[in-house]
């Protein structure tokens, strides 16, 4: 029996990917890497420092940056990103997700956040959603990021549920792998070809409802 939900944030609750994209595009220009849509897509769910490394690896100057310079680039990206997410309001919640979260809350499901983003608390506050979640896994305390199961294991601990009672919601392939590894029911939001390891799939957030989930579980 399902008793709770563990949510990814970027791409599931809010469309912050376009802001990450804008800020990383600026970094790419600065380090001489050509910015492409494929590169943007591959950064979804990937931590800040790993994302920077991927951007550097896509250019011709990857070895020319010291650890100190990399940290400065990541800090600058994050400040630019934070300026963009300060403009977020509850109107930026992805279609249907406010309804889903409030109806799950009313029905007594426990909810937590499993996001790779260190900015998750700020984003939830901007969206007015903080009060619905029992807790947010702090990605700074993880040994390994998605696709490792650790973040979703911790998200189930936050709501004090065994993995089989939890549905994990994700928009990235790395995230689906993490949910499956944690022994939870994976719910993918997006292209079923990209998320082909998901137990349940919805092409868009507006289709994610308690009734639609129940129908697919049978
Ligand atoms: P930050 P999610 C991820 O969030 C994003 O998809 C990814 O693009 C980003 O680099 C990562 O968070 C870290 O974010 O720089 O804010 O700590 O999809 O796991 O909610
Ligand atoms: Mg995501």
Q: Indicate which atom in ligand 1 lies nearest the CA of residue 172.
A: 18
Known catalytic residue at 148: no
53-88, pLDDT tens digit by residue? 999 999 998 889 999 999 999 999 999 999 999 999
Q: What are phi and psi of 4, to 5 degrees?
A: -160, 170
Can you give the pTM of this predicted structure? 0.91
154 is in an annotated binding site: no
Percent of the chain at pLDDT > 90 equals 93
Known catalytic residue at 10: yes
Ligand 1 pocket test: which of 13, 43, 73, 117 has the largest number of ligand atoms within 8 Å of its C-beta? 117
Mean pLDDT of 208-215: 98
**Tokens 């050509």 appear where?**
34
Mean pLDDT of 175-184: 97
7-62, pLDDT tens digit by residue? 999 999 999 999 999 999 999 999 999 999 999 988 888 899 999 999 999 999 88
Checking if the pLDDT of 168 tops 90, the result is yes
Q: What residues are neighbours of ligand 2 (ion), with CB under 5 Å?
A: 8, 10-11, 45, 171-172
Three-class secondary structure assignment of the chain: CCCEEEECCECCCECCHHHHHHHHHHHHHHHCCCCCHHHHHHCCCCCHHHHHHHHHHCCCCHHHCCHHHHHHHHHHHHHHHHHHHCCCCHHHECCCHHHHHHHHHHCCCEEEECCCCCCHHHHHHHHCCHHHCCEECCHHHCCCCCCCCHHHHHHHHHCCCCHHHEEEEECCHHHHHHHHHCCCEEEEECCCCCCCCCCEEECCHHHCCHHHHHHHHC
For residue 61, what pLDDT is reported? 85
Rounded to two decimals, the ipTM of the complex is 0.92
Q: Is 6 in the pocket of ligand 1 (CB under 6 A)?
A: no
Checking if the pLDDT of 155 tops 90, the result is yes
On average, the pLDDT of the chain sits at 96
Burial of 121 (0-12, 13-18, 19+ CB in 10 A): middle
Q: Is 116 in the pocket of ligand 1 (CB under 6 A)?
A: yes
């Amino acid at each position: 029996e399902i008793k709770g939900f563990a949510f990814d944030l970027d791409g599931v609750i809010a469309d912050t990917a376009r802001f990450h994209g804008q800020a990383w595009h600026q970094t790419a220009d600065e380090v001489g890497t050509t910015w492409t849509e494929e590169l943007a897509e591959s950064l979804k769910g990937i931590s800040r420092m790993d994302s920077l490394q991927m951007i550097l690896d896509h250019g011709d100057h990857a070895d020319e940056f010291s650890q100190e310079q990399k940290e400065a680039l990541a800090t600058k990206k994050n400040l630019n990103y934070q300026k963009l997410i300060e403009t977020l309001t509850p109107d930026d919640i992805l279609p249907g997700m406010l309804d889903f979260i409030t109806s799950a809350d009313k029905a007594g499901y426990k909810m937590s956040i499993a996001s790779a983003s260190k900015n998750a608390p700020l984003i939830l506050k901007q969206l007015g959603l903080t009060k619905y979640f029992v807790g947010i896994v702090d990605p700074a305390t993880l040994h390994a990021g998605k696709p490792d199961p650790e973040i979703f294991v911790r998200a189930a601990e936050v709501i004090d549920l065994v993995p089989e009672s939890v549905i994990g919601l994700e928009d990235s392939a790395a995230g689906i792998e993490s949910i499956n590894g944690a022994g939870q029911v994976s719910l993918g939001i997006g292209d079923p070809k990209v998320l082909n390891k998901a137990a349940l799939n919805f092409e868009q957030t507006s289709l994610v409802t308690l009734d639609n989930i129940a129908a697919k579980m049978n």
